[in-house]
Structure 1
């Protein structure tokens, strides 16, 4: 039996359990749109391709399935690059299917092809950030490439892949015998764990340590290893710090959960990792923001601290800090095996009651230091009050997507998450506009959960046409626009270093402040919306939005208060070189002079 390639592709996607295809039309993909119209798949049409990529990203994070994106060539492909790159850096599985120029026009420079310096190679612009990029040269190769693409997207370190499809390929016939292999291929591939010898060495080091610390990242959530991490922490009574992307891997209310390290970490949290004699790093890249730009003696002090690093990706082990023991393993399996070894070596476990008391006292003191701003009735509102009202109102299993600014950095620092997978950050690329778009896909992937995004007015303004998609597709999400009239984080950094806010505050040429009335804009899109006029009003309006079961936007005027930080972020060396910076030296042991590089 023969079918058009486009229809065979739609059949394949249905068999793989794909529910939604996110994308935007174009002449290279109309053959595929025809097949989608006749299939059980739901096409989520957007007004900008970056929205499609972010929405597919959000869907993948909540559903556990790869997000599927359909793109046109040329501007369609370039518009989506930011969203696909964001997914890549956050290790989110995605399959991008991109229409390409007709194969019979190679070298003729047809409409919308990138062709200034190369012919028929537009898909190569994705190569720096996708796991693999294929171009279909003949229909018979498509089935095998599809299996490879979906397997690669979810295996090892997950991420996006790209399949470039010349538009004529969609309309060619293929004998369905070529798809026979796809009925027998299984994408569930067994992942490696630790060998016995390595497991024993790791447990011996942790048991012998005076101040051991577990430092975990988003890899714990990707491996669905939250319970295993909790069991391991409880048995050995080891304090646990985390990265931004690790939030939710261990409940923030757990008595041994210390908090987020790095630039937006507090002094107590950073001291916990700095003063450790042994650190067990789990599923983290030890990225710059989480590591205070790798300055020695600020967040980490490796060496003399000894590092054990376990990750599914061998290229990350030892990338930023030297390791005592490095191991490539699936974290869920590895933590199970490590716990079994620990129980054999020390059946009674470890108890550190004084440490638990110390962590509890720190958390209570930090909470007390925030009480005044969290309860403040000032208007515009304090960001702390907004976060407090949201946490008190949103169900614990409600899902929050952040963006850039207070809604990400502040929430990572002081917004307690107790259920794994209920906060979704754009950590790697830190993309403005992620939250408002990704929230659409996240809701589709978790239809029975309350799903919201906390976003600054700058981030929301990047792609407000997300509201059109929400109305057209009937996706009941809530946008909380934390409106400070600026690109607030950068305004704070600039003010701290240069004592002005040029280029960061929204204003007219005469200097008067300016911002769209986002509630009115939302209403024009057909969305229910309100602009908050007092601090006491917000909580009730937010509850109304959660219960509305329709798209709802809340515009919340907010004071631009910087996120408090005790860490270091080395972003200013090009203008103000540090007298004690020697490449490679400060990373390993010599304390940085933080007064030169902190931003408060």
Structure 2
């Protein structure tokens, strides 16, 4: 228990005799723990906490959002972009907040944050009374996030905050919720001689089993069609360098999950891109036909190449699946796993690289030369098929066309925040990512309305980087009011809204099941597509905005948006995707 995870920007001891309220102690402790932003909505049970953020010695900016869940999504995007947590402050008790779905999203995708719920102020009408829980309710039914903490006395506040931070980053990162009563907020304490600690200890890293390392090394060396599958855990544990070394040492073609996109540079000769949504996607087929798959930092949802419960593909009976993770966890696809390596990911990957010496590496390079040649041909064929799509000026545009143009005008380390639905599949296909934490998407829960506030959080985390939010129009409608936050705080995010008058993924799903009922589309009574003018709406919020209907406009408009001094929006009219009629 000795590793320092967070350091206070100012770690001086508090030696003067000063009376502070619980809210002021809260603010100072947040500062000492490295919290640089708090997002949320003030309420009757949390207004003193918001006011205390201005306390000298704290001075933490408060970002007021328009909806409760946006505060949590913003903290989610912040953590994904930089690996450091921020805090979300909600105006209502956590048991009845509208942000529960947002907390669930952060939990599913392992995003650490502190979520503070305000207490109901006394004297409010009975409609605000908390619901009565069943007498046989278990504590787990009351739990929100990774852990739920409560402060019952001001003297316990610093220790509980540190416990919350330790909990949110230990093991699988996740949101920790905290209740601070009005009594604690208003109590005062003399902090003379009190020492504010900025050390949060982590347990000693578990070393991988040397025998298992050798077993895996032998399987990888003898494999005829190996594949390395990189997941979000590679990025979370900051072992992308070790992943690159492992791939090059064993000459392994690399595929990533959606959350792992960016864990391996997609312009590397061994990169095969990200898993697709369809079972017959070329990358998915590559994984399904491999004789050895080593999955690193992945939360498997079945066979390693399965991306949905409807996927009919299954690995061959002779396929060896190896999982490498920081801790042993139950996988829904555990029936496919033959070898499991559990331990610190950095030690595991470095240990695997150490099992193969220079002569063996050279021999493997010669042995795998035909495989690498065939992979190169596969990549070229895939790229050629994509060129036909991204070069088409047919109106309405395909989703891939603006993504391709966007990649051309963005810097290599730009951060792309992707909305929910089928747009994620287009991004995996047409937008290569070269560095970790440059591709952010809501994976496990697929929360609609996540992308806009998450992009704002990413820009707060990495202000020197370009941050672009690509989002469908249906998704955008659920959180577009947060554009006001960008204007009020001068946060220059670029929003690219793909407007096809509806939820594309839902429209396609309904069309496949019932050709006469296209649920998910936005239509007028006469069947014509309906859509608000998002560029006009954005301008009314104070953003620079453009509307694109033809491919020839893309380069110039996207360049203007990226070079805008403040937040900007580009609305792109894209095609509705409807499946071909069944014979």
TM-score, normalised with respect to structure 1: 0.87
SS of 1:342's equivalent in the other structure is coil
Give CA deviations for 1:195-237 in whole Å, capped at 9, x if unaligned: 3222112212222333222112111111111111111101110
For 1:524-535, what aligned pairs fall within 5 Å after superposition?
524-535=540-551
Aligned to 1:6: 23
2:177 aligns with one of 162, 168, 175 = 162
Structure 2 residue aligned with 1:20: 37
Q: Within 5 Å, which residues of 2 pair with 1:385-404?
A: 385-404=401-420
* Residue 127, structure 1, aligned to residue 109, structure 2: no
> 2:111 aligns to what?
92
Is contact 1:382–1:559 with CA below 8 Å preserved after alignment? yes
What SS class does the counterpart of residue 252 from structure 2 fall into?
coil
The Cα of 1:403 is off from its aligned counterpart by: 0.5
| Residues 118 and 28 (structure 1), Cα distance of their counterparts in 2 relative to 1, 3 Å cut | farther
Compared with structure 1, are the counterparts of its residues 406 and 295 closer, same or farther at alpha carbon in structure 2 (3 Å cutoff)? closer
Match of 1:330 in 2: 344
Q: 1:211 aligns with which of 209, 222, 225?
A: 225
- Partner residue in 2 for 1:551: 567
Tell me the secondary structure at the aligned position of residue 346 of structure 1.
helix
1:191 corresponding residue in structure 2:
205
Partner of 2:290: 276
CA gap 1:344/1:470 in 2 versus in 1, 3 angstroms: same
User: Contact 2:86 / 2:113 at 8 angstroms: preserved in 1?
Assistant: yes
Is the Cα contact below 8 Å between 2:234 and 2:263 reproduced in 1?
A: yes
Aligned residue runs from structure 1 range 464-503, under 5 A: 464-503=480-519
Does the 8 Å contact 1:252/1:259 carry over to 2?
A: yes
1-structure distance, mates of 2:552, 2:20: 61
Mapped partners of 1:174, 1:317: distance in 2: 48
Deviates more, 1:151-160 or 1:193-202: 193-202
Q: CA deviation at 1:320?
A: 3.7
Give SS of 1:17's match.
Answer: coil
For 1:223-266, what per-residue CA distance to the aligned partner results, in whole angstroms no more than 9, with x for missing partners? Answer: 11111111110111012222111111111222222233353465
Contact 1:476 1:549 in 2 (8 A): yes
Instruction: Note if contact 1:480-1:553 (Cα within 8 Å) is conserved in structure 2.
Output: yes
Q: Distance in 1 between matches of 2:48 and 2:395?
A: 53
Note if contact 1:270-1:298 (Cα within 8 Å) is conserved in structure 2. no
1:336-356 per-residue CA deviation (whole Å, 9 max, x = no partner) reads 111112238935462111111
Q: Indicate the residue corresponding to 1:230 in structure 2.
A: 244
Secondary structure at 1:401's aligned position in 2?
A: strand
Partner of 2:157: 142
Equivalent residue number for residue 355 of structure 2: 341
Q: Aligned with 2:457: secondary structure?
A: helix
* Pairing of 1:23-38 with structure 2 (within 5 A): 23-38=40-55
Cα distance in 2 for partners of 1:235, 1:540 equals 43
Partners of 1:43 and 1:146 in 2: how far apart? 18
Unaligned runs of at least 5 residues, structure 1: 565-598
Could you report, residue by residue, the CA deviation over 1:496-550 in whole angstroms, capped at 9, with x for unpaired residues? 2221443311123343322111111111111111111322112211100100120
Distance 1:25 1:290, change over 3 A: farther
Partner of 1:571: none
- Contact 1:73/1:112 (8 A) holds in 2: no
- The farther-off stretch of 456-465 and 411-420 is 411-420
Q: 1:63 aligns with which of 78, 82, 98?
A: 82
Which range moves more in the overlay, 357-366 or 345-354?
A: 345-354
Q: Alignment partner of 2:27: what SS?
A: helix
1:516 partner SS: coil
Range with greater deviation from structure 2 (37-46 or 348-357): 348-357
In structure 2, C-alpha distance between the alignment counterparts of 1:563 and 1:375, rounded to whole Å: 22
Residues in 2 aligned to 1:346 and 1:218: alpha-carbon distance in whole angstroms: 30
SS at match of 2:286: helix
Gaps of 5+ in 2: 1-16
Contact 1:476–1:552 (Cα < 8 Å) also in 2 = yes
Tell me, in whole angstroms, the C-alpha distance in 1 between the residues paired with 2:352 and 2:555.
44
Which structure 2 residues correspond to residues 427-576 of structure 1 after superposition, within 5 A? 427-561=443-577
| Contact 1:471–1:526 (CA under 8 A) maintained in structure 2 | yes
Residues 2-51 of structure 1 show CA distances to partners (whole Å, capped at 9, x for unaligned) of 42111011111111111100111110001101101333100010010111
Residues 441/316 of structure 1: CA separation in 2 closer, same or farther (3 Å cut): same
d(CA) in 1 for partners of 2:459 and 2:489?
Answer: 11
Alpha-carbon distance in 2 for matches of 1:388, 1:563: 23
Aligned residues: 559
Match of 2:70 in 1: 51
CA contact (8 A) 2:473 2:500 kept: yes
Greater CA deviation, 46-55 or 108-117?
108-117
Deviation by residue 1:141-192 (Cα, 9 ceiling, x = unmatched): 2222111111111121111111111222111123437963x51633455432
Decide whether aligned partners of structure 1 residues 345 and 280 sit closer, same or farther in structure 2, where only a CA change above 3 A counts: farther
Tell me how far apart the structure 2 counterparts of residues 179 and 57 of structure 1 sit (CA, whole Å).
32
Question: Residues 319 and 150 (structure 1 numbering): CA distance in 2 closer, same or farther, change over 3 Å?
Answer: farther
| Contact preservation (8 Å) 2:32, 2:198 | no
Tell me by how many angstroms 1:79 deviates.
1.7
Distance (Å, rounded) in 1 between the aligned partners of 2:130 and 2:178: 17
Determine the C-alpha separation between the residues in 1 that align with 2:468 and 2:138.
36
Worse-matched range after superposition: 395-404 or 192-201:
192-201
Describe the shift of the 1:77–1:41 C-alpha distance in structure 2 as closer, same or farther (beyond 3 A). farther
Partner residue, 1:250 = 264
TM-score of the aligned structures, taking structure 2 as reference length: 0.89
How far is the alpha carbon of 1:475 from its aligned partner?
0.4
Matching residue within 156, 176, 189 for 1:174: 189
Q: Secondary structure at the match of 2:524?
A: coil
Whole-angstrom distance in 1 between the partners of 2:143 and 2:254: 36
